[in-house]
Structure 1
Amino acid sequence: MPRRRRHGLDLIAGCTLAIATLFLSTGTPAAADPGDPTHGPRREIPPGMLAAMQRDLGLTADEAKTRINNEYQAGAAEPGLRKSLGGSYGGAWVSGNTAELTVATTDRGQRGTITASGAQAAVVDHTLRELTSAKEALDQAAEQRAPAVDAASAWYVDVKSNSVVVQAANTAGAMDFVAASGADRAVVRVVQSAERPRPLYDLRGGDAYYINSSARCSVGFSVTQGDRNGFVTAGHCGDPGDTTTGYNRVAQGSFQGSTFPGNDYAWVETNNNWTPQPWVVGADNTNVVVSGSQQAPVGSSVCRSGSTTGWHCGTILQHNTSVRYTEGTVNGVSRTNVCAEPGDSGGPYISGSEGQGVLSGGSGDCTRGGTTYYQPVNPILAAYNLTLTTD
């Protein structure tokens, strides 16, 4: 196979306690009794939030409205109670479907101050300041890579249990981490947990990715192959086995198949940190939904997304074109008058909401205009037995 060319214009490679803030939209009013002065004004709930609360929290519509209203009132009352309790303040939380407010204090004599406000009082051993100080010691130890830090998967101030909780699969190792941090052991609890948090990133057509930590191309379309996730892109961007990192330089995946010249397509399998989404990056970083891959006829409008020049549109001039690059001939591509530049390679073309293909190459630039060619997406899907991710 001729050596892949990764730069140049003839082949556009580019491989170069928190309470929710409520409520800003109109919707169904909350269910507080307008005649009850303890509830204050009604809160308005976005309809989508109301439906999601019913579904995910197992509430009726009236319960969801009541809960939202009470949560808002609790959030409004908590700062004043925190100030009144001063150094004895131990935190606050709401509980139950009606979101009843509980406020904690280390001073038994302050219970009346709390109950007079309509909240429940809890007398605890440790102030919120003590809990926060222990958590900060753990944070600092983690930044300094303290011994056994990797044994812990998460740690947090848990006001309801009046402790700092450290989650870990290896509890003995986590105890070593706590000891190394110097945190007050009296306020720290280590609990068994199989949870292994990981960062989550979206795969979007048009975003940058890097090949072997250096050259850059653009994601085409998100795809799946059984239980494997990934994306399609241009074949000239990488060879099978080449590794990729995402737009944020986080490990992403590796090329599983690649053909160039002859065709110009490839697919990259990604790791579990990356979630395939039915989107391509549109103007102003908006998400343009992909609903299918029906081929648009000659003369149709088509837009392209790429990590160098972003979102540009034009028309499809011809299908079934053969184009001659220095590396060899690529057959079966579509010709357009959409501009592109190095780094845009592999990025998606879309007509309406139908995916069309991935950028192969071209001439010109997005200052003077130019001609570009895309490898149709359906042959890529068929070649690797892939399924396009759609909405």
Structure 2
Amino acid sequence: MVRTGLSALLIIGTWATAGLTQASAADSPSAAEPRASAALIAAMQKDLGLTKSQAEARLTAEKAATALQGTAQRAAGPSFGGSWFDADSGKLTVAVTDSGTARSVRATGADVRLVDHTAKQLDAAKSRLDALSAPSGVSSWHVDPRANSVVVNVVASEQGDNDVRAFVAKARKAGPVTVKQTAAAPQTFAAGTVGGDPYYTGNVRCSIGFSVHGGFVTAGHCSGVGGAVRGWDGSAIGNFQGSSFPDNDYAWVNVGSGWWTVPVVLGWGTVSDQLVRGSNEAPIGASICRSGSTTHWHCGNVLAKNETVNYSQGAVHQMTKTSVCAEPGDSGGSFISGDQAQGVTSGGWGNCSGGGETWHQPINEILNRYGLTLHTA
């Protein structure tokens, strides 16, 4: 890949670089700088099928919905049943079990839907599923506030398997459950060593997620603690200081040897490099984009949160599911919504030719687990 405008020390899909001209200039953005570049709007038009004005309006509405989530949940109180962004209305929708709280929630500016089960009840049901051993034909499960149920995703070709049917029967006893079909089983997106734009650890190529002070975060399945990390040019970057997989899928790497970090997600020429300004969590239904070293930049929507993903290596919990595609080598890469960091790529199914779904491990969980501070502009 021709690295026009990028220095010889660019880390794959990253901002941990020396001499990245755009990133250096972006460290001191002007107050008038737009939050969404023309290239980002163009990417949303391509991947989400929106017009330019629709993409701009959606980003504005999503930002408002993200800011409203906490206030609306507090207004709902114990009757809170979850929330999501409705792309059609452009508003945050909040589920409540008590009609008496609906007026208070509407007063915050959110729409309201009456449901039977609280978020607490649904989370408890999901926790009971997490305690079960799932066969490979069960792809994942998560709480879906829109369905007011725990959704269990079953690989379509395996739905008649006796072990799958037994798991589903146990799941239904755990609480309100909806069974859906998925096209394929999930897999992680690490890859064997290839030339290009990677960071390497052993024989594995993965992608950097987000810069933190002192290093960067990425996927845990890429390496265990102590694993040495090299840049695309083979020079030493650092080592895995913390790593968890399965159960979780996150890790962090220290940066040294002349490398440093900047708050940028690489746009790979599809969009301009994106500044990272925070880590406010986007709601279900919001648009989200991903940067990775194999398939570069793609966008989609947030489909579910707190999903348990049943990889062949073991279950990983508290994942966020998206409609963004990914392929091997994208593991660990950045998920960003607007200018807010969302998480690091874990795995999924499908590819960027035929489509698929991808999960990420939320960024704030990683920061809290290791006591890290996100590097922001």
**TM-score after normalising by structure 1:** 0.47
Please say which structure displays the higher CA radius of gyration: 1
**TM-score after normalising by structure 2:** 0.49
